[in-house]
Each structure stands twice: as structure tokens, then as C-alpha cells.
Structure 1
Amino acid sequence: MNLLDLEKLFNDAYLFEDLKMKSIKLLEELILNSDSNYLKEEEEKLPNNIKLKDFSIRYKCTELFINNHDRIYPFFRVCLELLHPETEIQQYYYDIEYTIDGKFSDEYFGMYK
């Protein structure tokens, strides 16, 4: 088995395109409700004429964590980026962690430095 075979198995097992779209929707909803969640602080740091909803969302990659010494079971993350509306440079990342069963586990949001 090679990595392309593994990728196909993963994509089929987790209905990857649906999972990716679900992850993007999760970020879109988080941004739409940014006035009442932890993104409010990030939005307050932006210049007055720019809001998080102005950024475009881009799928970056999926990270598989196998043979992790801190975890009993493998897990994976769907990694998204927010691109600045004027420069189209990635400014923020949003990673969604899923269990081996494909269930939401955790989320990470931050600014690239």
C-alpha cells in the first residue's frame, strides 16, 4: 500500500468531500456569530473597514496523526485558512480535530505569525 491508496481509503471511509464542506460551514457559522464567541477579540483587532466575514476561506490540508505517543487512537485535523480580502495572503488558521470515528473533537483558531 502506498500513500495514494491510503488517501483513497481515508476519503472513502470518512466521505471526505462532505466532511470538508461541513468543516467550512462550521467556520462560516463561527464567523457569522463572531460578535458572541471567541472570535470577537480577533475581529476587534482588525482595521475598522475589514471584518472576518470579508476574508475568504480556503481548505489547506488534512493532517493524520498516527502513532502519536500522547493518544491511544489515531485522529485527524481538517485545516482551513482565512485569506485577507485585499492581499489574499493567509492570515488566520482554523483547524478542526476529529476522532477516529469522524466525530468533532476540538477546534483551534489562530493568527499566522
Structure 2
Amino acid sequence: MDLNDLQKYFNEAYHFEKLKENSIIFFKEMIDNCQNNYLKEEDDHLPDGLKLKDLIVEYKCIELIINDRNRLYPFFRVCLELLHPKTEIAEYYYDIEYTIEGELSDEYFGNKFPRIAKS
């Protein structure tokens, strides 16, 4: 089995297009409701009057993690990015982690370019 076969098997087994679409919808709903979740702090600190809802949600990739020394079973992440509407440069990432059974396990949100505290 080569990596193309593995990709084809993964895409079929996890219904890749639907998984990708549902992940984007889930993240957009979180952004729309950001005043009531942990994204509020980032939304309140965006420069130039921008809000998270102004940024473009884009699919980046799926990371398949196998043979991880800290995990008994393989898992995968759907990786999304938030792009600045003018520059289309990724400002934030959002990863949704799934178990090998396809169940939501965890999520990660972060700034691609963390702010440096001013002294």
C-alpha cells in the first residue's frame, strides 16, 4: 500500500468531503457565537476594527498521526486557517482532533503569529 492508497482509503472511510464541510461549518458557527465562547478574547483584540467573522475560513489539510509515542491509537486532525480578508495570509489556525473511530476528541485554536507583549 502506498500513500495514495492510504489517502483514498481514508477519504472513503471518513467521508472526507463531508468531514471537511462539517468542520468548516462547525468552526464558522463558533465564530458567529464568539461573544459566548473562548474566541471572545481574540475577537476583542483584532486590529483595525476587524472581527473574527471578517476573516476567511479555509481548509488546510488533514494530519494523520500514527505511531505517536503518547497515544495508544492513531488519530487525525482537520486543520483549518483563518485568513486576513485583504492579504489572505493565515492569521489563526483551528485544528479539530478526532479519534480513529471518527469521534470528536479535542480542538485547538491559536494565533499563527503570537503577539509580543509591549514593555
Deviation at 1:49, TM superposition (A): 2.2
Calculate percent identity across the aligned residue pairs: 62
The answer as to 2:43 corresponding to 1:43 is yes
Which position in structure 2 is the counterpart of 1:80?
80
SS for the counterpart of 2:79 is strand
- The one-letter code matched in structure 2 to 1:23 is S
The answer as to 2:20 corresponding to 1:20 is yes
Which position in structure 2 is the counterpart of 1:106?
106
Cα RMSD after superposing both structures: 0.8
Instruction: Describe how 1:60-75 pairs up with structure 2 within 5 A.
Output: 60-75=60-75
Q: What per-residue deviation string (whole Å, max 9, x for no partner) do you get for residues 6-35 of structure 1?
A: 000000000010000110011001000000
- The one-letter code matched in structure 2 to 1:55 is L
TM-score (norm 1): 0.97
SS for the counterpart of 1:86 is coil
- The one-letter code matched in structure 2 to 1:52 is L
TM-score (norm 2): 0.93
Instruction: State how far apart, in whole Å, the 1-side matches of 2:91 and 2:61 are.
Output: 16
Which stretches in structure 2 are left out of the alignment for 5+ residues?
Answer: 114-119
Equivalent residue pairs, number: 113
